[in-house]
Amino acid sequence: MVLTISLLSGCGDTAEFQPLRFNPPVWQSGEHSIYRLTNVENDFAGTMEIELRAADQKNEGGWILYREINSSPKEVITVEVNKFLRPQTSLLERIDTTGREMVRTIYAGSQTDIELTNKRDMISYERVSLPSDAYDLRTVLPFARSLPLADGYATQLNAFLPITGKLERVALSVVDQEMVTVPAGSFKTWKLELTSQIAETEAWISIDAPFELVKFIDSRNRATFELQEFVEK
């Protein structure tokens, strides 16, 4: 199956958007974060771990993002990006008592190939046309730490989520400075809003190095993730 995905219309028409530009990575290979997950009723629902590792020599300057959500279902995601933080490959695994689902994605310029394996081990394939500047949506928040965040900062980017096959035009804006207390401690943060026609997400990123992703609220399921432990390597 061949799909062509068109851009969603722009968000936040009144904002003065700056060109998207990342500073050099603020993380080190082996950096590890653990988050406490609560649901919309504020009940404990599991944990999430994020680890960033340098890619091998074949992808010099690239990074591998590993994310594991220990909830129901369990979800494990690995995304490899190049030195410009653009995705190269990704693998999603969702595991529960009834089996395992997988979504494998290979990004190759404007052509993206997706392999979906359901719980009965049946495999289907999709080919998607994307703009060359698309990012993997699951990397946007961890990598937002390297944006030049400041009062009034706003930018836009294209972000793709393989499991839904949707490309989102995401507007990212700094809306305030807030002191936030989470299990890992108290942090002075930039409060961010990320909006598209599909979703709205709030996030808090530390103002001080190493610019931890302190907290975020996932608008798709209203889950809240709060930093519990942060380890630099």
Distances (CA, A) of 117 to 105, 106, 120, 176: 12, 15, 8, 42
Q: For residue range 65-81, what is the model confidence (pLDDT) as tens digits?
A: 999 999 989 999 999 99
Mean pLDDT value of segment 127-155: 97
Q: pLDDT band at 221, cuts 50/70/90?
A: confident
Tokens linked to 67? 């994310």
Q: pLDDT band at 1, cuts 50/70/90?
A: very low
pLDDT of 2 strictly over 60: no
Termini Cα distance of the chain: 43
In the chain, the percentage of residues whose pLDDT exceeds 90 is 86
pLDDT of 9 strictly over 70: no
Alpha-carbon distance of 108 to 130, in angstroms, equals 10
CB 183 within 8 A of CB 228: yes
Give residue 6's pLDDT: 31
Q: List all residues 6 or more positions away from 41 whose beta carbon is below 8 Å from its beta carbon.
A: none
Give residue 12's pLDDT: 40
pLDDT of 4 strictly over 70: no
Q: For residue range 101-115, what is the model confidence (pLDDT) as tens digits?
A: 999 999 998 899 999
The model carries a pTM of 0.91
Mean pLDDT value of segment 116-134: 96
Alpha-carbon distance of 166 to 157, in angstroms, equals 14
Give strand ranges (E) for 118-153: 123-129, 135-136
Give residue 220's pLDDT: 80
CB 229 within 8 A of CB 34: yes
Closest CA to 140 of 94, 92, 172: 172
Give residue 197's pLDDT: 87
Beta-carbon count within 10 A of 224 CB: 18
Mean pLDDT value of segment 12-41: 90
Q: For residue range 193-219, what is the model confidence (pLDDT) as tens digits?
A: 999 988 899 999 999 999 999 999 988
In the chain, the percentage of residues whose pLDDT exceeds 70 is 94
Q: For residue range 83-96, what is the model confidence (pLDDT) as tens digits?
A: 999 999 999 999 99
Pick the more confident residue, 4 or 207. 207
What average pLDDT does the structure give for the chain? 92
Mean pLDDT value of segment 156-175: 95
